[in-house]
Amino acid sequence: MKYADEFRDQAIAQRIARAIGAEVSSQRAYRFMEFCGGHTHAISRYGLEDLLPANVRMIHGPGCPVCVLPASRIDMAIRLVDRPEVTLCVYGDLLRAPGSQGQSLLRAKALGADIRMVYSTLDAIRLAEQAPSREVVFFAIGFETTTPPTAVMIRIAERKRLKGLSVFCNHVLTPSAMHSILENPKIRDTGGIPIDGFIGPAHVSTIIGTQPYEPLAEQFGKPIVIAGFEPLDVMQAILMLVRQVNEDRYEVENQYSRAVTREGNRRAKEEVSQIFEPREQFEWRGLGLVPNSGLKLKRAYAQFDAETRFAIHDLRVADNPACECCAILRGAKRPVECKLFGTVCTPETPIGSCMVSSEGACAAYWTYGRVRDEQLRRPS
């Protein structure tokens, strides 16, 4: 496959692996968090950890939108589809995400709710055009990458006067979450999460650029390397992080220069800022309430805001107390350290959200990486 296989070349991977092996100091450990689920998936899918020295450990971060979505938002969506006039458009990943009582949109659909699995915002527009008497609600979810398409959808709805179309907005912001991970007193005080550096998001950074990470690197003294989602991108980024750590540098470096600039995509950012504004706080599964970390529609676009339109209010609900998603999403625990992992919590029957999406830390471990931990558990 052209333009993809080049970034999956085993010979080059071995070369980078040798360079990493030669440059790491045996006197210390290197713990890097890949923030994004896309990186987690690449690491697991290609078995990348097998190429790294034993003292380089990857910590899977919270950059999977389905994983960090709190159960309360699923509960809200289920309340929305209880209304007979509502057609809810969702991405496939979200259908199985568990609500607070273990219910899901998939079950609501089986019981008769009008829930459609869509692949893009354009599908929602098409549905709204085809069924003008329905209330078509788009379940908007995702980081900065998926926000511009939602903004464009609202623009199109405005232009086409699609009165039935609205958005249940769950868009979240990456830098705020990274800030929260580094600053969280729980993490600092327990010393549970000694992160030496970050692999920064690929697609998110094409929109926001590398600039927003600079204050984080500076304030917390952590190197950040923005990397593409191909396995060679990740390998190269790890090498760049090792070098920064060895040289006591903490800069924002851009490995993904073929797609990311310092400024990002100005047009997309403008479009988003015209329609959305930050919420005072937004709940993240695993991180709790994070200030300025979510987006909502501006007052001028309230007619497109499903929360206003249907007067559904946020509730806070407790997660399953035995579920370690919270610690796992912060990198404080590994999936196998959760009692539920692989026993009652599996991809078929997810308890925590990390098990729901294939980009979730637990699901990726379960699907691709279990064999390594099994070996850790049972030395032979």
Q: For residue 117, state whether it binds other proteins (rule: CB under 8 A).
A: yes
Angle at 63 between CA 259 and CA 372, to 5 degrees: 105
Pick the closer one to other proteins by CB: 4 or 318: 4
Pick the closer one to other proteins by CB: 143 or 282: 143
Q: Which stretch binds other proteins (CB under 8 A): 45-53, 61-69, 138-146, 304-312?
A: 45-53
Pick the closer one to other proteins by CB: 205 or 357: 357
Among 36, 48, 58, 105, binds other proteins (CB under 8 A): 48
Q: Which stretch binds other proteins (CB under 8 A): 3-11, 155-163, 284-292, 300-308?
A: 3-11
Under DSSP, the state recorded for 188 is H
Tell me the C-alpha distance between 26 and 241, whole Å. Answer: 16
Tell me the C-alpha distance between 42 and 40, whole Å. Answer: 6
Instruction: List Cβ neighbours of 233 (8 Å cut-off, separation of 6 or more).
Output: 7, 42, 202, 227, 255, 256
Q: For residue 374, state whether it binds other proteins (rule: CB under 8 A).
A: yes
Tell me the C-alpha distance between 96 and 307, whole Å. Answer: 22
Q: For residue 194, state whether it binds other proteins (rule: CB under 8 A).
A: no
Q: Which stretch binds other proteins (CB under 8 A): 117-125, 138-146, 174-182, 214-222?
A: 117-125
Count of residues in contact with other proteins, rule CB under 8 A: 34
- Tokens coding 117: 């699995």
Q: For residue 369, state whether it binds other proteins (rule: CB under 8 A).
A: yes
Q: For residue 8, state whether it binds other proteins (rule: CB under 8 A).
A: yes
Q: Are 32 and 56 in contact (CB under 8 A)?
A: yes
- For the segment 340-359, give every residue that binds other proteins (CB under 8 A): 346-348, 358
Smallest gap, in angstroms, from Cβ of residue 180 to other proteins?
28
* CB-count burial class (<10 Å; 0-12, 13-18, 19+) for 346: middle
Dmax over CA atoms of the chain, in Å, equals: 67
The amino acid sitting at 112 is G
Q: For residue 379, state whether it binds other proteins (rule: CB under 8 A).
A: no
Residue 102, helix vs strand vs coil:
coil
Which of 58, 59, 60, 78 has the alpha carbon at shortest distance from 68? 60
Neighbours of 1 (CB within 10 A): 6
Smallest gap, in angstroms, from Cβ of residue 15 to other proteins?
11
Pick the closer one to other proteins by CB: 100 or 367: 367
Neighbours of 183 (CB within 10 A): 13
Q: For residue 282, state whether it binds other proteins (rule: CB under 8 A).
A: no
Among 123, 158, 214, 251, binds other proteins (CB under 8 A): 123
Q: For residue 118, state whether it binds other proteins (rule: CB under 8 A).
A: yes
Q: For residue 54, state whether it binds other proteins (rule: CB under 8 A).
A: no
Residue 207, helix vs strand vs coil:
helix
Among 61, 200, 228, 231, binds other proteins (CB under 8 A): 231
Residues at the interface with other proteins (CB under 8 A): 1, 4, 8, 10, 13-14, 17, 44-51, 92, 96, 117-119, 123, 231, 346-348, 358, 366-372, 374
